[in-house]
Amino acid sequence: MKAIGPRLVIATHNAGKLREIRDLLAPHGIECVGAAELDLPEPEETGVTFVDNAELKARASADLSGLPALADDSGLSVDALHGRPGIHSARWSEDESGTRDFGRAMQRVWTEVEAAGPDTGHDAHFVCALSLAWPDGAIESFEGKVHGTLVWPPRGANGFGYDPMFVAVGMDQTFAELDPADKHAISHRAAAFSKLVAALG
């Protein structure tokens, strides 16, 4: 894989996501700058898969900044909801004005799971697609998953997004109750990053 260089644009305006990615890349000596810090716009996510949207965002930031860019597209897929909210996970949190409230999103997920009936269960998984794009058009993508179950009510103040309602297989705490270092060790983002780091050599 091509070298990244010392500076990398993280193509997100999500502060929680940027913080996690910075933590994961810190051991590799790469300076991460967020898209918001460079006043880069958020492109419309028109893809039909997580990889589609990650590649779209990475290419846009690489083109506009002239630097390599890393984009993450991730979300929650719920078995009882046939994979929803999936690529629309962030949109489920938005109101008419575009303001995001994941408390509202989690309530919607739980309400729809309950409406699906007692036989559907609470199984779910998080997916993370990472795409690394260079200004010359080269691109590499990696995908990671973590399986678990949904709980209600939400628990914990760490993490972000749907973390307070998700318990990974083998754990008894939600992602939002775990110490961030413990979450990084097992998360969907960590699984995708391990593939990225392996490719970095």
Read off the pLDDT of residues 58-73 as tens digits, 9 standing for 90 and up: 999 999 999 999 999 9
First-to-last alpha carbon distance for the chain, in angstroms, is: 8
Checking if the pLDDT of 201 tops 80, the result is: no
At 137 the pLDDT is 94
* Residue 24 in this model has a pLDDT that exceeds 90: no
Please report, for residues 2, 75, 94, the alpha-carbon distance to residue 188 in angstroms, rounded to integers and kept in the order given.
24, 10, 23
Contact 127, 74 (CB under 8 A): yes
Rounded CA-CA distance 47/187 in Å is: 23
List residues with catalytic annotation.
73
The CA–CA distances, whole Å, from 96 to 13, 99, 195, 200 equal: 19, 8, 37, 41
- d(C-alpha 126, C-alpha 146), whole Å: 5
Task: Give the residue, 20 or 194, on which the prediction is more confident.
Answer: 194
pLDDT reading at 80 higher than 80: yes
Segment 44-59 shows an average pLDDT of: 94
Closest CA to 162 of 17, 36, 54, 23: 17
115-143 pLDDT, tens digit each: 998 888 999 999 999 999 999 999 999 99
pLDDT at position 174 is 98
Distance CA 25, CA 29 (A): 7
- pLDDT digits over 86-126, tens only? 999 999 999 888 888 999 999 999 999 999 988 889 999 99
Please determine, for residue 178, whether its predicted confidence score (pLDDT) is greater than 90.
yes
Give helix 188-200 / helix 15-25 axis angle, nearest 10°: 40
* More confident call, 2 vs 56: 56
CA-to-CA distance for 170 and 81, rounded, in angstroms? 23
Closest of 59, 58, 97, 52 to residue 75, by C-alpha = 52
Q: What domains can you pick out in the chain, each with its CATH number?
A: 7-200 (3.90.950.10)
Average of per-residue pLDDT across 174-181: 94
